[in-house]
Structure 1
Amino acid sequence: MYKILISGYYGFNNIGDESILRAVVDNLQDRLEDIEITVLSQDPVSTAEKYGVKSASRKSMKSIVKAVKRCDLLVSGGGSLLQDVTSKKSILYYLIIMWLAQLFRKKIFIYSQGIGPINSNLNRRLTARTLSKVSGIVVRDEASKEFLAEIGVDPQRVEVTADPVLRIKPVPLIIGQEILRKEGIQIDRDRLTVGFAIRERKTDSEFVDELCIAIDRLVTEQKAQIVLIPFHYSEDVGVIEELEKRLGDKVCSIKHKYLTNEMLSIIGNMDLLVGVRLHALIHSAIMNVPMIGISYDPKINSFMKSIGMKAMCSIYDFNNQDFMEEFNKTIQHREVIKNRVQEKLVHLTKALDTNEEMIKKIMEK
């Protein structure tokens, strides 16, 4: 039996990263034979139960060392693990796990990661040196490949695919309808239902001010029904509560945590999704829901480009007038947009086969 250890940002109730793990585990199990999967997780018991895998604590060095020693292959990814913008320390954490694998002469595979931004020169050198010694590198977009070349990784060793979550299949809408009812949200099919998946830690920012005006205009001018959806629950609940405080009964929100399939179905019941969270936008693409992307990070721009669209703006230059124009344009052309996105998804999901094909070759060696 071939033992695979997966390292990533798992067990933190971030629906985006949990969706990645669901996709990676399913893809490995579907396409590779006689494997045993172990996941490093913040909540090993929950991860083992949810995904049917073995799990070890990502915060215990003793557990990490033990897990690395017993594996045959370390899979790092997906997600944006190798970057130092959101945290200057987390990149070192993921590199240290790879260094341990190298120390114990284990093979390492980078699985459809988004790489960068990495601002520290030291972190750039460490990343380049580490990745130059791994068995295979697959990134989720061209920007990541270009960045790796910039810091000194041979671009000929880097394959480009897509975010692994894109391979998750659409789910029935009835699941989300039942959840919305339990949350006290009654969808009115005579009105447009607009979901908002917002990432913003500063609740007094100009972005939040303009967002409130935009939502108020959607309700008053378009008679829209607004649903606020937390994708990283612990981080997103703050801005959701701020929007509820300012807008009152003009908005409703999801109050509980949900699994990947449940969140997919919730998104599927929207007529349009406004997303700052990358995986909210990816969920929209999977469920064939028109979207408006607002960027806080280059990964948003890269994803929107990959599906033939553009992010409307960033959180730093968002204004309600531009938003309303984009909203009206998106609703007017929604069928064209949906068809274009689905065509792009066919090519992107096929490209994801590269991960398992490369891992299979590594296993055979």
Structure 2
Amino acid sequence: MYRILISGYYGFNNIGDESILRAVIDNLQDRLDNIEITVLSQDPVSTAEKYGVKSVNRKSIKSIVAAVRRCDLLVSGGGSLLQDVTSKKSILYYLIIMWMAQFFRKKIFIYSQGIGPINSSLNRKLTAGTLARVSGIVVRDEASKEFLAEIGVNSDRVVVTADPVLRIKRVPLMIGEEILRKEGIKINKEQLTVGFAIRERKLNSEFIEELCIAMDRLVTEQNAQIILIPFHYSEDVSVIEEIEKRLGDKVCSVKHKYLTNEMLSIIGNMDLLVGVRLHALIHSAIMDVPMIGISYDPKINSFMKSIGMKAMCSIYDFNNEDFIEEFNKTIQHKEVIKKRVQERLVNLTKALDTNEEMIKEIMEK
């Protein structure tokens, strides 16, 4: 039995990270024999039940040390763990887990992570020094590889694949239809149904002001149906409530938490998805739904580039006029866009096999 311990941002009701975990567990179990998986989680009971694996509390030092000592391989990732933009402390948490593994002479594998930005010079040195001693490094985009080279990691050791969520299979639309019905949302086939997955912590920002104007115009000028979809439930509910307060019954929203397959199906029922959340855009690509990406982080730009598209803008220079123009172009050319994205996905998902191939080599050494 080969014991694998997974470290990441799991158990926080962030559908993007939960989708990553679902994909990583499925890929490991499908492609590797005789393994036992344990996950460090904020909610270990829920994680164990959802994914059929062992799980321990990511905040319990005693539990973490025991799990690291027991494992044969620490898998760090996926997601954007090694960055200090959204949090200056979280990067140290993930590095400390790796230092524990190195102390106990365990093998470490970086699994399709998005690396950076790392602004602190100390964090850059610590990251480069730590990754110099791991068994394998796989990143999800070229920007991450370039960043690692910038901070001193040998680029010959870094392999580029894609976000692991891209390998999740498409799901039937009826699942999402039933969920939306229970939420009190009826899809009207006579209208364009536009989903919005918004990340914004400043409720009085110019972005929210312009976004509400854009939504209002979609409703009044194009008779669109607007559905607000929370991807990181605890963070996104407040911005959804703010938009509902401003626009009233011109918009509707998904009110409850859902699992990966359920969220995939909800998004599959959209005619177009406007996403600030990376994994909302990835879910759109999987479900063959045209998308408009709005960037708050380089990872959005990197993903859009990987599927042959560009982010329309960032949350800092969004305006409703440009959005309506982009919306109209996207709807007009939706079939061309969908074909291009699906062609890119074939190559991206094939590249993801590299993770398990490298782990298998590590296991056999």
TM-score by length of structure 2 reads: 1.00
State the alpha-carbon separation in 2 of the partners of residues 289 and 222 from structure 1: 19
- Amino acid aligned to 1:188: N
State the alpha-carbon separation in 2 of the partners of residues 90 and 253 from structure 1: 31
In structure 1, what is the equivalent of residue 227 of structure 2?
Answer: 227
Structure 1 residue 115 displacement after superposition = 0.1
In structure 1, what is the equivalent of residue 44 of structure 2?
Answer: 44
In structure 2, what is the equivalent of residue 240 of structure 1?
Answer: 240
State the alpha-carbon separation in 2 of the partners of residues 231 and 59 from structure 1: 23
Where 1:5 maps in the other structure, the secondary structure is strand
CA offsets, 1:312-357, max 9 Å, x none?
0000000000000000000000000000000000000000000000
Structure 1 residue 299 displacement after superposition = 0.1
Superposition map of 1:123-272 within 5 A: 123-272=123-272
Structure 1 residue 190 displacement after superposition = 0.3
Structure 1 residue 272 displacement after superposition = 0.1
Where 1:40 maps in the other structure, the secondary structure is strand
State the alpha-carbon separation in 1 of the partners of residues 273 and 167 from structure 2: 20
The count of aligned residue pairs is 365
CA offsets, 1:55-103, max 9 Å, x none?
0000000000000000000000000000000000000000000000000
CA offsets, 1:192-212, max 9 Å, x none?
000000000000000000000
Where 1:93 maps in the other structure, the secondary structure is helix
In structure 2, what is the equivalent of residue 60 of structure 1?
Answer: 60
Structure 1 residue 171 displacement after superposition = 0.1
* 1:300 aligns to 2:300 (yes or no): yes
* 1:274 aligns to 2:274 (yes or no): yes
* 1:104 aligns to 2:104 (yes or no): yes
Structure 1 residue 162 displacement after superposition = 0.1
Where 1:74 maps in the other structure, the secondary structure is strand
CA offsets, 1:200-251, max 9 Å, x none?
0000000000000000000001100000000000000010000000000000
State the alpha-carbon separation in 2 of the partners of residues 87 and 295 from structure 1: 18
User: Where does the alignment leave 5 or more consecutive residues of structure 2 unmatched?
Assistant: none
State the alpha-carbon separation in 1 of the partners of residues 85 and 170 from structure 2: 32
CA offsets, 1:124-152, max 9 Å, x none?
00000000000000000000000000000
- Amino acid aligned to 1:172: P
Where 1:252 maps in the other structure, the secondary structure is strand
User: Where does the alignment leave 5 or more consecutive residues of structure 1 unmatched?
Assistant: none
Structure 1 residue 254 displacement after superposition = 0.2
In structure 2, what is the equivalent of residue 338 of structure 1?
Answer: 338
Structure 1 residue 121 displacement after superposition = 0.1
State the alpha-carbon separation in 1 of the partners of residues 205 and 186 from structure 2: 30
* 1:34 aligns to 2:34 (yes or no): yes
* 1:349 aligns to 2:353 (yes or no): no
- Amino acid aligned to 2:331: I
State the alpha-carbon separation in 2 of the partners of residues 152 and 100 from structure 1: 22
State the alpha-carbon separation in 1 of the partners of residues 351 and 165 from structure 2: 13
Structure 1 residue 271 displacement after superposition = 0.1
State the alpha-carbon separation in 2 of the partners of residues 195 and 84 from structure 1: 30
- Amino acid aligned to 1:53: V
State the alpha-carbon separation in 2 of the partners of residues 58 and 259 from structure 1: 21
State the alpha-carbon separation in 1 of the partners of residues 109 and 65 from structure 2: 18
- Amino acid aligned to 1:46: S
Structure 1 residue 295 displacement after superposition = 0.1
- Amino acid aligned to 1:355: N
Structure 1 residue 109 displacement after superposition = 0.1
Where 1:226 maps in the other structure, the secondary structure is strand
State the alpha-carbon separation in 1 of the partners of residues 167 and 92 from structure 2: 29
TM-score by length of structure 1 reads: 1.00
State the alpha-carbon separation in 2 of the partners of residues 44 and 248 from structure 1: 38
Q: CA RMSD in A?
A: 0.2
- Amino acid aligned to 1:235: E
State the alpha-carbon separation in 2 of the partners of residues 100 and 144 from structure 1: 24
- Amino acid aligned to 1:6: I
Where 1:317 maps in the other structure, the secondary structure is coil
State the alpha-carbon separation in 2 of the partners of residues 47 and 233 from structure 1: 16
In structure 2, what is the equivalent of residue 320 of structure 1?
Answer: 320
Structure 1 residue 2 displacement after superposition = 0.1
- Amino acid aligned to 1:308: G
- Amino acid aligned to 1:207: F
CA offsets, 1:148-198, max 9 Å, x none?
000000000000000000000000000000000000000000000000000
* 1:13 aligns to 2:13 (yes or no): yes
- Amino acid aligned to 2:128: A
State the alpha-carbon separation in 1 of the partners of residues 132 and 289 from structure 2: 39
Where 1:231 maps in the other structure, the secondary structure is coil
